[in-house]
Structure 1
Amino acid sequence: MPNPDQILTVAQMRAAEQALIDAGETVDSLMRTAGCGGAEYLWRIAGHRAVTVLCGPGNNGGDGYVIAEHLRSRGGDVTVVSLSDPATSAARDARAAFAGPVLPADAGPKGDVLVDCLFGSGLSRPLEPAAIALLGDLAASHDRLIAIDMPSGVDGDAGLPLNSDLPRCDVTLALGAWKYAHWLMPSAAMMGERRLVPIGVDAVDGAGQLMGRPALAVPALDAHKYTRGLVLVVAGEMPGATLLASKAAMAGGAGYVKLATAAVLPQCPADLVTVAYPLDQVLDDARIGAVLIGPGMGRSEAMVERLRAVLRWRGPLVLDADALMLLEPQMLAGQRGIVIATPHEGELARLAKLYGVAGECKLQTAKALAAASDMVIVAKGPDTVIAVPDGRIVVAPPATSWLSVAGTGDVLAGLIVSRLSAGTDPLTAVCEAVWLHGESARRAAPAFSAEGLIAHISASYASCL
């Protein structure tokens, strides 16, 4: 069955297309399906405005000829600009079927909408100077830019621009399935609105997944605070961050949140239970569902010992912030419980170096680190990537950039430990938390604080019931 939320590598996409061909499709028929589907979107976007379709020599250019003919046959004002003659049989057939004008690369037409069909997701080398110049000139002479499958000049797997100064698109129409570059930074910032054009691709084993709205539930009629999850947040040297994480855990569905601290905390909510150290005694409670350490922790020797004490506990752990800067691989030796790490870019780089892994992009690094460390990796950022040790990958759609403020990472950590505490499997718990985090930011007014973000978690939760 088709899975509209799967994300494929370029190799997986080629294999999926080959499977369709083995089942009776042809390259030409798949091109017609993709081109006509893309043209339907373009017709709604462009209407009767002048459209220029920029076609390359390969099958992405062939898609462009199909799109152009579909628009022309419906009465659209469409012109094709060809970088060079078609180089594949299917592209030549598509060009032969187009009954409108085909202009040379130096024609320089102006119009309302430019459709980029130069090169698709399979491109692995930079655009030649003539191609990049043509794309830039035409983009500048049109009001809107729409990419078919992938903006030309982008690595479809790594999400990296292969050329500098590529134009940004207003819309990108992914053909058949999402590719990682549609959702990974920095290429994700070039895509504009994203739409998927189905061509009948079935679900692919080993595909990544685009994170969607979770299905949360009302507590059972016989629920109580422990069945809903007892969270322990371990305080550090800076109380503000641990308070934020604790408040987020309380809003995220946990039945009971405890804060382990030796200090008297200002503005501590009345319903947040504080417990004093020693930490080993605090952790000796079989009812604890999950533990969070790292927010506001600091990096003193005392905090190293506090981290070691937490890692001796065998239950589900969330490691965030300074815990990831203090962590050493040997500290996890013998750890049989679930461990979720939530690194930002700098912390991810440190952990990757510690475990001797490397990747060309964030996705590859997170996947390799999860396998090497046996931790679930939540690589935070505008393109949050979740990697599980067994190889599963989930990518979150981009949330609002207003999240780029101090404390929002602590809120996310609190949500993750909250969802984990009731026994939810780690990948589901993380996806629920990341979605609630992003949705709460969407609901908050611009220029919100981390406290302001927490205020919207309850409404975000309610929207999933």
Structure 2
Amino acid sequence: MVDRQILTADQMRGAEQAIFDAGTSVSDLMETAAGGAAEWIRRIAAGRSVTVLCGPGNNGGDGYVIARHLAEAGNDVTVVAPVEPKTDAARTARDRFGGQVRSSGREVEAEVLVDCLFGTGLARPLSGELVLLLRDLAARHPVRIAVDLPSGISSDSGELLNENLPEYDATLALGAWKFAHWSLPGRAKMGRKRLVPIGIDPVESAAQLITRPRIEPPERDSHKYRRGLCAVVAGSMPGASLLATLAAQRAGAGYVKLLSETEPAAAPPDLVIDTRPLAQALGDERIDALLCGPGLGREDRATERLAAVLDAAKPTVLDADALVLLRPGMVAERGDLVATPHDGELATLCDSFAVRADGRRDRARALARASAMVVVAKGPDTVVAAPDGRLAIAVPSPSWLSVAGTGDVLAGILASRLATGGDAFGAACEAVWLHGEAARLCGPAFTAAELARAVSRSLAAALVPGMP
């Protein structure tokens, strides 16, 4: 979907060029983009005075159009432009504005600041003079809004190109989301984020934002096996695998069982436990998906259990200890394996598969290609990467999710969604959303077990409306 795609600066320029090639002028597109942004700003300003800070490029041109719209709506508007416009469209926008433009922000005060200094494509720090101007104006305006991106933030990475950049109450993305909108540290500066459509088409190979999935409930004549059998492989530390089963039971699979050599003392009465030798237990043809890793251990016996799981050739989620034990020769190009590493495990996997890349996003992509696994790289900027190049970025989850055991919960959700019959990439995206939504429903300061019990409520939030 167009409103979910996340574009690099180059992809955004290409998408805009396609609009120009179809006959729309740069000025007309600027009127569309800035006009949409102006409507959001008008609502936020609610009649209050506004300062618009304009840069020399087309982002500055957007600022002149916004200033014109706000003035026409009755707002008291001051435009500050420390640099003259350098593009034809920006010069045209300034001429159409027709009002006074100040070259200095000295003594300028209003209630709302609109930052149109620089947007997508900025790759170097702001000059000392411009960053001081930006900080000074931000300090004197209680409400701050960024158009497209806050000035001084890299569009493709979310990197802060200058120190002590201001924080904003809202950021209005023009045309499409950029990676910075969903990547730390930049996104922490942006406040509420809203997308302003400008009519761009879907971009091939664009990353996607993970949003609420549409999950259908079981058919009226379903039974436990038709809904999917999910098997969790236990190891030397049963607590983590029990957490995973607790989540898996609430994420849609009709049957969840634990494959364990011994029966854990704390196992709930509604959990089926298969204590047969693992090779025998894995021979159950009714198993639709496996989870291996939580509480597995790292001894030789754990490696043997992991190898048996991979030999079973079922759709499989690999988590925790399984990721440390995994080696390239243990996986084939199957397309139904999902790895869920945190940053440390991601680094270990990259070493094992001889992957060289920087940053969670690029590492996940490179590892997915090298290993033929779907990679869910967990963290404050969770990304899902597929071997075919698809990439999805998660909407930020509550920071309360950073508690021991929540990764086991995610793994259980994912294995359950995989058991229901979804493809590995789609199941991973569903699981990431359900995990974050469960955290939101839990509120502050929850345990991993409480998070697992909230998964059924997050699943309910994703059900297709009107379905039984």
- Aligning the two structures, in what range does the TM-score lie when normalised by the shorter sequence? over 0.9
**Structure-2 residue corresponding to 1:191:** 190
Is 292-301 or 37-46 further displaced after alignment?
292-301
Is 10-19 or 232-241 further displaced after alignment?
232-241
Deviation at 1:358, TM superposition (A): 3.2
1:39-50 maps to which residues of 2 (within 5 A)?
39-50=38-49
Could you tell me which amino acid in structure 2 is paired with residue 112 of structure 1?
Answer: E
Q: Does the 8 A contact of 1:294 with 1:321 survive in 2? A: yes
The answer on 1:382 being equivalent to 2:373 is no
CA distance in 1, matches of 2:262, 2:33: 62
**Structure-2 residue corresponding to 1:451:** 449
> What CA RMSD, in Å, does the superposition of the two structures yield over aligned residues?
1.5
**Structure-2 residue corresponding to 1:3:** 2
Deviation at 1:128, TM superposition (A): 1.4
1:16-55 maps to which residues of 2 (within 5 A)?
16-55=15-54
Q: Does the 8 A contact of 2:342 with 2:378 survive in 1? A: yes
The answer on 1:96 being equivalent to 2:95 is yes
**Structure-1 residue corresponding to 2:364:** 366
**Structure-2 residue corresponding to 1:460:** 458
Change (3 A) 1:354 1:167: farther
**Structure-2 residue corresponding to 1:130:** 129
CA distance in 2, matches of 1:362, 1:53: 35
The answer on 1:352 being equivalent to 2:386 is no
1:421-440 maps to which residues of 2 (within 5 A)?
421-440=419-438
Deviation at 1:422, TM superposition (A): 2.4
Change (3 A) 1:335 1:10: closer
CA offsets, 1:162-200, max 9 Å, x none?
222222211000001111111122222122100011111
CA distance in 1, matches of 2:27, 2:325: 56
**Structure-2 residue corresponding to 1:309:** 308
Change (3 A) 1:274 1:447: same
Q: Does the 8 A contact of 2:320 with 2:341 survive in 1? A: yes
TM-score (norm 2): 0.96
SS in 2 for 1:274: strand
CA distance in 1, matches of 2:122, 2:351: 29
Q: Does the 8 A contact of 2:246 with 2:453 survive in 1? A: no
Could you tell me which amino acid in structure 2 is paired with residue 19 of structure 1?
Answer: A
**Structure-2 residue corresponding to 1:320:** 319
CA offsets, 1:351-390, max 9 Å, x none?
2233233334322221111111110011112221111111
CA offsets, 1:139-178, max 9 Å, x none?
1111121110011111111222222222221100000111
CA offsets, 1:308-336, max 9 Å, x none?
2212221111011111112111221x463
1:66-465 maps to which residues of 2 (within 5 A)?
66-332=65-331, 334=332, 336=334, 338-465=336-463
After the TM superposition, which segments of 4 or more aligned residues of structure 1 sit over 4 Å from their partners? none
CA distance in 2, matches of 1:21, 1:360: 35
TM-score (norm 1): 0.96
Could you tell me which amino acid in structure 1 is paired with residue 252 of structure 2?
Answer: G
SS in 1 for 2:376: strand
Could you tell me which amino acid in structure 2 is paired with residue 83 of structure 1?
Answer: P
Structure 2: any 5+ residue segments left out of the alignment?
464-468
Q: Does the 8 A contact of 2:335 with 2:372 survive in 1? A: no
Deviation at 1:107, TM superposition (A): 2.0
SS in 2 for 1:288: coil
SS in 2 for 1:40: helix
Q: Does the 8 A contact of 1:158 with 1:363 survive in 2? A: no
Could you tell me which amino acid in structure 2 is paired with residue 128 of structure 1?
Answer: S
**Structure-1 residue corresponding to 2:466:** none
Q: Does the 8 A contact of 2:317 with 2:414 survive in 1? A: yes
CA offsets, 1:85-144, max 9 Å, x none?
111111111112223331123524122111111111111111111111111111111112
CA distance in 2, matches of 1:261, 1:335: 28
CA offsets, 1:366-425, max 9 Å, x none?
111111111001111222111111111111111111111111111110000001012211
